Structure 1
Amino acid sequence: MDPSRAAAGHIAWRKQHLRGNSCRCRREADMQTPLHAAGSPLCIASGDIEIRHLSMFHAVAQSGSFTRAAQRLHITQPALSRCIAQLERRLGVRLLDRTTHGVQLTPSGIEFLPYCRNALLSFSEAVTSVRGDATLRVGFTWSAALELTPLIIREFERLHPGVEVEPRKCDDSYAGLIDGRTHIAFLRGGRGHPALESTILFEERRVAALHPTHPLADRHSLSLDDIKSDPLVVNTVSGVTTPDLWPDSEGSRATVRTHNLEEWLEAIALGRGIGVTAESTSRLYVHPGIKYIRLIDAQTIPVVVAWPSARPHPLAKSFVQTSIRLAESRQADRHF
């Protein structure tokens, strides 16, 4: 793709995305009406809502404290409070509640926050684009596309001089795609989402993860039936295995719930249960308290590259094509 055409497409996309993230406002009389209710006018008058309003609200929401947000923004706390109060008046809703434990988002604040975050990201990227420095944010939860990841990124940047790929680790099921933190992402498992499109790059075999003192830890391979009675450690946020992997198991499976890969590893190392994961975990996350053993009859795990269906980044298609081409060229490599 011609770099100049890519840059022009990127700028056009940012303008469209900015329009789509316009903030909403309402009159005081509509305080109890949801922000998305029919008839809620878009705030289009010049100066009604400014970037500083969004930046300050986002800082307070992220830090959970007016004091910490003011320090982060290098302004006084009274000035921050006045700005938030002005934003709430212009929106016609209360966004934040002060409590003895800090600051909490109201229902309207919870609804407004992802739109605020997206608008700030869009504004930042629009400024970056017109200055000629395009950025593509690539999300992942863990392992990304394995050893292919740096090859894909370097090849893509070679094909698109002036475009910087920014890898972002996001501990959620869709690696930041749904809330706009990323433009494209490497994901594992067969979970689809109506707002996303995806294509499979390769499949990974599964392994069991056991504590070294487990009775089966000396085996060279295992079947799913061998470990069907053990408590299963599950990464509920970005994991790829649930009790559904054993469809014929009787009764409820005891599970140990964790929220990221690090917690998952430590639960197994403590002997709380066994885990099932992608084969690459045994190479990339070696742990003295865990023994990885090949599973002979478990379904493979698809590794996909995914992107938003609506308003995809103009460089998304090219990144996907680069990913597919490099994945196919390494198809014979057993590491993948």
Structure 2
Amino acid sequence: MEVELRHLRAFVAVATKRSFTAASRELLITQPALTRTIQQLETTVRARLLERTSRSVELTDTGRELLDRLRGVLHDLDAALIAVSGRAGLRVGFQWALPDPWISDLLSAFETATGATATLLRRDDIVTALKSGDVDVALVRAPVHASGITQTVLFEEDRVAAVPAESPLAARTELDWSELAEHPLVVNTVSGATSADLWPPGHRPGQVIECGSYDEWLTIIAAGRGIGSTTTSAAEAHIHARVAHRPLKGAPPVALRLLWPVRRKGDTLLRRFCELASSTR
């Protein structure tokens, strides 16, 4: 038996969902049919790809390797089919608020120049989204160190302090960057652009409260557990009644970075988007 596209899509669905039930719903086929399809694939490649128990589905080492390779292959195939059918588009990933009207102008310029659509998709784990083909290109602020990903800095933004509205700091018109280290610092370790090592040794925050998203970060500050820093554009987009934003003196700027998979470097739409992103500021 030869491997068919349906075998590969079935495997990726089960491997991603870690569930035959969820994968069968996504693929609109019955679980018995899905099970047979996976068995046919394993027989053809002569390797065990999935370990299935009564409670979960886990990937074997061979299964993980195949999944990593197939995600990119299937995405490129889908992109090719979309392009030839006249429904070309670009999916732009981001983690939290983007500068506006810059992003609106960029998307408008891209669509005017190419005739393709540009869709914004919020994703906390940008690297996974890029490698899996969930997004085509991404805009992030935190430095990214990952193989297979190319990045360039577009421009830098100023920082502001985020403090509890009932804190005495909220009554100030301006804060100094060094002052933030004197208070518990709330840090988004997944997609944030602030970390304790931005302060010099010996003057770093004594207490760091870690979280995993911008929403969590904002909620912790609103609860009065600490303070933080963010960009001016994010402060304007994420208004919270219990969080006050104040200008920061002496703060390091935040770079907005453009990321894309190395394997997509020849993509015409991606190249045009990168050109426009670099020239619209």
How far apart are residue 191 of structure 1 and its match? 4.0
| Cα distance, 1:175 vs structure 2 | 7.6
Structure with the larger helix share: 2
Q: 1:155 to 1:280 in 2, by over 3 A?
A: same
Q: For the residues of structure 2 that align with 1:66 and 1:309, how far apart are their CA atoms? A: 32
TM-score by length of 2: 0.89
Look up the equivalent residue of 1:144 and give its one-letter code.
L
Q: How big is each residue's C-alpha offset from its partner over 1:206-257, in whole Å with a ceiling of 9 and x where there is no partner?
A: 1111112223221111112212132221111111011011123357742222
User: Bigger shift: 254-263 or 236-245?
Assistant: 254-263
Deviation at 1:174, TM superposition (A): 4.3
CA deviation digits over 1:181-205, x for unaligned, max 9?
A: 3322222144455644444332111
Identify if the C-alpha distance between structure 1 residues 101 and 293 changes in structure 2 by more than 3 Å, giving closer, same or farther: farther
Identity %: 37
Distance 1:310 1:57 in 2: 22
What is the 5 A alignment of 1:13-162? Answer: 48-161=2-115
Equivalent in 156, 175, 181 of residue 203 of structure 1: 156
Q: What's the offset of the Cα at 1:63?
A: 2.8
Separation of aligned partners in 1, 2:212 and 2:190? 5
Provide the aligned length of Structure 1 versus Structure 2.
280
> Which is worse superposed, 205-214 or 130-139?
130-139
CA contact (8 A) 1:228 1:249 kept: no
Q: Scaled by the length of structure 1, what TM-score is found?
A: 0.75
Give the match for residue 15 of structure 1: none
For residues 78-108 of structure 1, the C-alpha deviation after alignment (integer angstroms, 9 at most, x for no partner) is 1111111122222333222223432222333
The letter of the residue matching 2:87 is D
What SS does structure 1 have at the residue aligned with 2:129? Answer: coil
Within the candidate set 235, 255, 263, 2:188 is matched to 235
2-side partners of 1:146 and 1:91: how far apart?
Answer: 50
- What does residue range 141-220 of structure 1 map to in structure 2 within 5 Å? 141-161=95-115, 163-174=116-127, 176-191=129-144, 193=146, 195-220=148-173
The 3 A distance-change label for structure 1 pair 199 and 76 is closer
Contact 2:176 2:251 in 1 (8 A): yes
* Equivalent residue letter for 2:53: T
Unaligned 5+ segments in structure 2 are none
Match for 1:148: what amino acid?
A: W
After superposition, the Cα gap between the structure-2 partners of 1:195 and 1:164, relative to the gap in structure 1 and judged at 3 Å, is: same
Distance 1:205 1:82, change over 3 A: same
Contact 1:211 1:291 in 2 (8 A): yes
Q: CA RMSD in A?
A: 2.3
In 2, Cα distance between equivalents of 1:63 and 1:199? 32
Measure the CA separation in 2 of the matches of 1:252 and 1:290: 20
Unaligned runs of 5+ in 1: 1-46, 328-336
2 CA distance for matches of 1:84 and 1:227? 54
